[in-house]
Structure 1
């Protein structure tokens, strides 16, 4: 099993293989937010989805270390070596904040510099992006850039890691949510990414809630925002990502 990975198996008795999700908690590429890790895995498991939480390398490690970790985890999930009945055509990624940036970078198929990892199986089949850091050029979250790239990264590197600029027709469908008054990561990140997906004719669902601080995680008890899990579950079902469970 890749280092930093924890597994939460889908709940219930599934009929056949179940979808799987790689969960990438946020933390500005400096740390990992625990409330965006195993609690999220438990929610996914309740939907009949196998969940794999990855605590990828963060500062002082630099790019492409986190991307290499995420690609290694995704290919391992597809390999079936964990022993769970995973449908390898339904393996997605869910990321929060800086973990959302890593998720979008993974979805874009950005090269990791390691040929054995830069394979089709290292791209997710869909992505869920929660108040994500996405652009390294507009309304930037400087802490994430500093931690991932160090001081004075080149314009070329910043452009290559700006998710809204890497979208193509091969980018997988996305569910995105943000709060309008997020004071840490501007909602413009999500708006620009959603527009890029639209221009590339990639299916997407975007929800912008009027109020809510950054880093809400599952947002239980937060008026309005707490609905994101319900909305996301419906979106997943619409893409055929709710496992068939015996008795349902």
Structure 2
């Protein structure tokens, strides 16, 4: 990964490259620090260093030990933009980020339908770098939404059309933001962190035994967790009438994160009269990203129509 100190140089070279080759009409890429003035709730640990893994094509596939969160921006250019934006939270069990499959590739797909996208490299909860690891990812997600809203005019975005998206444990973070957006977890400016819509893809929602993903729960909350804390982060229990409209995707044969996570969230949304849509596929397992085979490969098209019907895309 490019260090924060090289962000300005990277941004300049990236824009120059796209402009020279005439491809800026698709997207321009920029890496932004989420906390340019210091990360809240942090413990300085020089031995804790970010680890990047690469795939077969030598492109970044995953990141772990994140202590400095960033937003990678994919901005739709000019007349192609719908003014809509989405912050994407990759999954990885709160232990790593599948940042290519569930981040960069998804952002490029959003660009193809006129939606600007921001891939959030959020801090992964760890007692070595956080005073309270349970709120670390939520702090990053709240500030990511606020950062996009603060720059809405600059980026030609509608500040009332900024959503959150998450895959797997990133879905837990997205649903946490959707239900805890008003929770004061750091000193912030009076700007709403509420997403205008939520997109949850095979999400971890609950922290309850038998439904949760145990690895995600352990990484976020620790070993011995109080009943109150389990309830707090079982996000289906935190839904109210102000929870954002939600689009959900899950596979029936998901052995890692049971489909009941999405079903229970949908039922609570319905009970609070929040608009929602759930697509359950017969197969696909877990972690199929934009879709691999069978019927699960068509969920992006369903999402596109949902966004259009809700006036969130052209």
Same fold (TM over 0.5): yes
Match of 2:241 among 162, 169, 177: 169
* Mapped contact 1:131–1:190 kept (Cα < 8 A): yes
| Other-structure match for 2:177 | 106
Match of 2:219 among 124, 142, 147: 147
Q: Give the Cα separation in 1 of the matches to 2:153 and 2:224.
A: 40
> Please, what TM-score do these two structures have when normalized by structure 2?
0.73
- More divergent stretch after superposition (27-36 vs 80-89): 80-89
| Other-structure match for 2:120 | 54
Q: How does 1:1-248 map to 2 (within 5 A)?
A: 1=32, 2=34, 3-10=69-76, 13-14=79-80, 18-34=83-99, 35-60=101-126, 61=130, 62-80=133-151, 83-110=154-181, 111-116=183-188, 121-138=192-209, 139-219=211-291, 221-243=292-314
Q: Give the Cα separation in 2 of the matches to 1:215 and 1:130.
A: 9
Return closer, same or farther for 1:203/1:148 CA change in 2, 3 Å cut-off. same
Q: Give the Cα separation in 1 of the matches to 2:259 and 2:212.
A: 11
Q: Give the Cα separation in 2 of the matches to 1:157 and 1:233.
A: 35
Return closer, same or farther for 1:176/1:81 CA change in 2, 3 Å cut-off. closer
How far off its partner does 1:82 sit? 8.5
Q: Give the Cα separation in 1 of the matches to 2:169 and 2:95.
A: 9
The CA deviation string for residues 221-241 of structure 1, in whole angstroms up to 9 with x for no partner, is 411001100000000000111
SS of aligned partner of 2:161 = strand
Q: Give the Cα separation in 2 of the matches to 1:79 and 1:100.
A: 24
How far off its partner does 1:120 sit? 5.7
Q: Which has the higher contact order (CA 8 A, sep 6+)?
A: 1
Q: Which runs of 4+ in 1 moved over 4 A?
A: none
* Mapped contact 1:12–1:48 kept (Cα < 8 A): no
* Mapped contact 2:241–2:274 kept (Cα < 8 A): yes
**RMSD over aligned Cα atoms:** 1.7
* Mapped contact 1:11–1:46 kept (Cα < 8 A): no
Q: Give the Cα separation in 1 of the matches to 2:219 and 2:78.
A: 40
How far off its partner does 1:114 sit? 1.6
State which structure, 1 or 2, has the greater radius of gyration over its C-alpha atoms: 2
Task: Work out the number of aligned pairs and report it.
Answer: 240
Return closer, same or farther for 1:51/1:72 CA change in 2, 3 Å cut-off. same
SS of aligned partner of 1:236 = helix
Return closer, same or farther for 1:55/1:112 CA change in 2, 3 Å cut-off. farther
How far off its partner does 1:14 sit? 3.4
How far off its partner does 1:109 sit? 2.4
Unaligned runs of 5+ in 1: 244-248
SS of aligned partner of 1:106 = helix
| Other-structure match for 1:246 | none
